[in-house]
Structure 1
Amino acid sequence: MSTVFPTPRLTNPAGFGRVAVLMGGTSAEREVSLASGGNVLDALRARGVDAHAVDGIPALVAALVEKKFDRVFNILHGNKGGGEDGVLQGLCEALGVPVTGSGVLGSALAMDKIRTKQVWLALGLPTPRYVRLAKGAKVQDAARELGLPVIVKPACEGSSVGITRVFDEAGLDAAVELATRYPGELLVEQLVTGGEYTVGVLGDVALPSIRIVPAGEYYDYHAKYQAEDTQYLCPGLAGDDEAAIRRLALAAFRAAGCRGWGRVDVMRDAAGNNWLLEVNTAPGMTSHSLVPKAAREMGLSFEDLCWRVLETSLGDGEGGHA
């Protein structure tokens, strides 16, 4: 596992051409995406990149049809109007426009937590036990099969949207009611008690892990994007434990067909076992976001990180000149 970044492929910002920074959209994560996108836009412009904000996929389509952009920095979050479910990637591929991050397969697979788990389990990678809650199925049966406590969540949302931790049967129906407000299937997952970690991936490098210590009981939406008292310990582990969680995250990222950059979320139980939760293929880039914190630990400024992410849109024949 590499722990050193390769030399940048481009040094002249003109080599990127005209860049669309795609943000906003219509998913449940619109506000987070707008915050991320504004930061990315400022960083790229500060480095001399000809970057422009585009809000949502329909606006991008209109601009690409008119050939206004040479490539896309995707910082949309979520699905159904977000840019992490493979739809945007298929569009860009069909139009021959490079886009940052994972392609159609990796994006679509990682957005679906159930299918991601199926791939990981097939490869022997550790992930908490789960039950797919089919339409009409009783959540009580799933909870009994797994054993309480459990987590009930939409299978295809991010940013802790629609998630409930349930410790007794009395809370199950309300958890399902919340999760069904969002499209797609539901997932009932065994709750792992322990430390919350995340590992960013940039190219072939797994970034230092981050241990997340919220002031409250859980790392929920408020703790992620609003609270100022959440602690981020980076690196989150040391020695062999740190190396192991980074190897696992990189293996999980690749197994899901992902490439370019992303973030893998992991729980670590009291016995020191790591459990994979999900992959984010367009992680947040807000003031509270995790990938920038880990990149900074390896000496990459926010501007450097945005440049490197933009380089993930370069094809094999690009970037060989200054």
Structure 2
Amino acid sequence: MSYSKYTFCTFIIISFHLSIGESWRNETRSGKIFSIFTLVRFENNACVPNSNSLSSGTCYLSDECTQKGGEASGTCAEGFGVCCLFLAECGKTYSQNVTYWRTSTTSPCSIKVCKCDPSVCFVRLDMTRLDLYPPNTDTSSSTNVASQCTTDVMTISSPGVPPLPKLCGRNNGYHMYVELSGTDCIDVAIIQGSTSYSRGWEMTLTQHSCPSASTPPSGCVQYYTGVSGTIESFNYALGSHLADLDYKICVRRERGYCKISWLAPTYSISGKVGILSPAKLTGETTCTTDYLIFPDTGRICGSQFPGTLPSPSQLGGTIVVHTDSTEVSAETGTKGFSLSYIQDNTGC
């Protein structure tokens, strides 16, 4: 759950006690006027703007919204507040529940997002659109840059947290959780190369507090909820997985469920330098360069997925994704993965 602060508004209601008849003059002379103070309290929760393509803002008093550098779009809290939008600009720092970041011609363009409260432990990036120049396609063995983001790149840093995926290519509709470990802020930056391309981005950065059912366990970069779903590798839409990645994908165990099964309509992960195997491969000695690690199974690579992969003993909802930094010609064309999962409550 995102952290919510409170706004207090004080309204003064003055009521006059007017007497009838002869006592009226005396009552008036003595000035019997009573003041009643009514306190209106509302949370700085998410709200829906009324004239903007963005889906969510934060509810503040009008003056607060202006002071914090936001833009009012509609009302909230039964008209006592305004739906305040925070549109990030390059080089600036933000500490709101929800911050939006849109395409800029400035390069590099970086923003800093800081905790709005000490209880915040994650910032979630929802990439409505992230369309950057595709990864490098130079597969000569002397360069070792194939599948790397050498023209455009988005980087995220959070001190004390393991390196996060560097992204390029097309990643529309994906998300990432950035953990805040011993620090109050994260830095997000996009570098745009000089090569012509229809690049652009539109992101929502939402702060999440711990503990919360909507917040992932520590170490999870992607976190999926629901009894079933689909998970794709970064840059899946452009047909090649990215190089030099190490991150965890987690699935929340839903109430009443204790098992999970995995199925991959598309699975194309090179195991070692050489021609991509047309079959499924497993194990640490076979899958040495690029692979996924599944609970109860271990490493899986190759160009096929081993049917429906169950985790029979428990809800094994964590996958490790690893790709090395030395993609070469024999590994080119590996599309990545599209995984489907379904949770099972049989025997729970």
Q: TM-score, normalised by structure 1?
A: 0.25
Q: TM-score, normalised by structure 2?
A: 0.24
User: Between Structure 1 and Structure 2, whose CA radius of gyration is higher?
Assistant: 2
Higher strand residue share: 2
